[in-house]
Amino acid sequence: MSKFQMDADWLTFHPSPSNPNFVPPAGAVDAHCHVFGPGDLFPFAPERKYTPCDASKDQLWALRDQLGFSRNVVVQATCHGADNRAMIDALQSSNGLARGVATIKGSITDEELAAMHQAGVRGVRFNFVKRLVDALPFDSLASIAERIAPLGWHIVIYFEAQDLPEYYNFFTSLPTTVVVDHMGRPDVSGPVTGGEFDLFMKLMGDNQNFWSKVTCPERLSLEGPPHYSDVIPFARHVVKSCPDRVLWGTDWPHPNMKTHTPDDGKLVDFIPLIAPTAELQQKLLVDNPMRLYWPEQMGN
Ligand code: 0GY
């Protein structure tokens, strides 16, 4: 019996996802996924805002293989706070097929940063979603940004669309490549152009160091499964506008899903709807993530 009890309103990940119809190009990267625990081995952080199910690296690798992907980017989830051991353990067991995005505190030493780099960490995550974390003040985040910039790392930011005006100037002051999670969580009941989403598109258009994950139809959709049709125009617009600065990922094991359990195979079938040509799919799934996470392997 685990000492951690998953939140009662949580749904676990799909036990038997379908095989996708869409076949990803060779070398495809799932650029946004997580590992949770196992809690008895890698305890969840005392300051966490939710307690998840266990979701192990081996289950993640099995899903990767089933979906036809080759690599993963494991993003530190808030339930582990700044204790990156579960994520790093996954990287170290991946035969070089996974990179990581960490959560760090200002007190981290240069030696600890170097060890993380050695393990495959290539970015840090700044999370501003209030239901998930108490965000650090801007000056603390700015000093973390200065620390990681010389390593060639990037910053992943997660925020709600309605908070973008408040954060805009801080975001554009960041000195590295910046990757936005889930298109900045648009309200998909609004218009793709001429409404709130314009500010996100301006951020992407005016700042060539900004990238976006065109991820998480399952958490953005008001319509819901199986098609998540209301998210498609938003993701398609971002892919079309910034084809060289987009990433895609499953978001397995789907933290905080309370309405339905996404079928990861069906999520893969979302890809050709948002990146309709083979050229766009190659950029989204292979060229872009390889440039960001495995640049040393480009051109081989
Ligand atoms: C996501 C989304 C969520 C959670 C986390 O780190 C996390 O806890 O990322 C969410 O609840 O929206 O990107 O996986």
State the distance from the centre of ligand 1 to the C-alpha of 253, rounded, in angstroms. Answer: 10
* pLDDT tens digits, one per residue of 276-287: 999 999 999 999
Burial class of residue 291, CB neighbours in 10 A (0-12, 13-18, 19+): middle
* pLDDT tens digits, one per residue of 234-245: 999 999 999 999
Distances (CA, A) of 239 to 56, 157, 215: 31, 18, 11
* pLDDT tens digits, one per residue of 190-219: 999 999 999 999 999 999 999 999 999 999
pLDDT computed for residue 2 by the predictor: 75
- Average of per-residue pLDDT across 217-231: 95
What residues have CB less than 8 Å from 277, skipping those under 6 apart?
Answer: none
- Average of per-residue pLDDT across 264-286: 98
- Would 150 be classed as within a structural domain? yes
- Alpha-carbon Rg for the chain, nearest whole angstrom, is 18
The pocket around ligand 1, CB under 6 angstroms, is made up of: 77-79, 132, 181, 219, 251, 255-256
Position 245, amino acid = R
Ligand 1 atom 4: residue of nearest CA: 255
- Would 279 be classed as within a structural domain? yes
Q: In the predicted model, is pLDDT for residue 146 greater than 70?
A: yes
Question: Residues of the chain with pLDDT > 90: what percent?
Answer: 97
Among 296, 297, 265, which residue's Cα sits nearest to residue 21? 265
Find the domain containing 234 and state its range.
29-297
Number of domains in the chain: 1
pLDDT computed for residue 226 by the predictor: 86
Its pTM stands at 0.97
Atom of ligand 1 nearest to the CA of 76: 6
Active site amino acids: 251
Atom of ligand 1 nearest to the CA of 132: 8
C-beta separation of 199 from 191 below 8 A? no
Distances (CA, A) of 65 to 5, 19, 71, 91: 29, 11, 9, 16
From 6, 132, 213, mutation site for ligand 1 pocket: most ligand atoms within 8 A of C-beta? 132
- Would 22 be classed as within a structural domain? no
- Would 7 be classed as within a structural domain? no
From 163, 213, 256, mutation site for ligand 1 pocket: most ligand atoms within 8 A of C-beta? 256
Q: In the predicted model, is pLDDT for residue 137 greater than 60?
A: yes
State the distance from the centre of ligand 1 to the C-alpha of 77, rounded, in angstroms. Answer: 6
Q: In the predicted model, is pLDDT for residue 300 greater than 60?
A: no
CATH for 99: 3.20.20.140
Q: In the predicted model, is pLDDT for residue 76 greater than 90?
A: yes
- Would 5 be classed as within a structural domain? no
The SS3 of residue 266 is helix
Cα–Cα dist 135/274, whole Å: 31
Among 285, 131, 126, 299, which residue's Cα sits nearest to residue 213? 285
Among 226, 247, 271, 112, which residue's Cα sits nearest to residue 179? 247
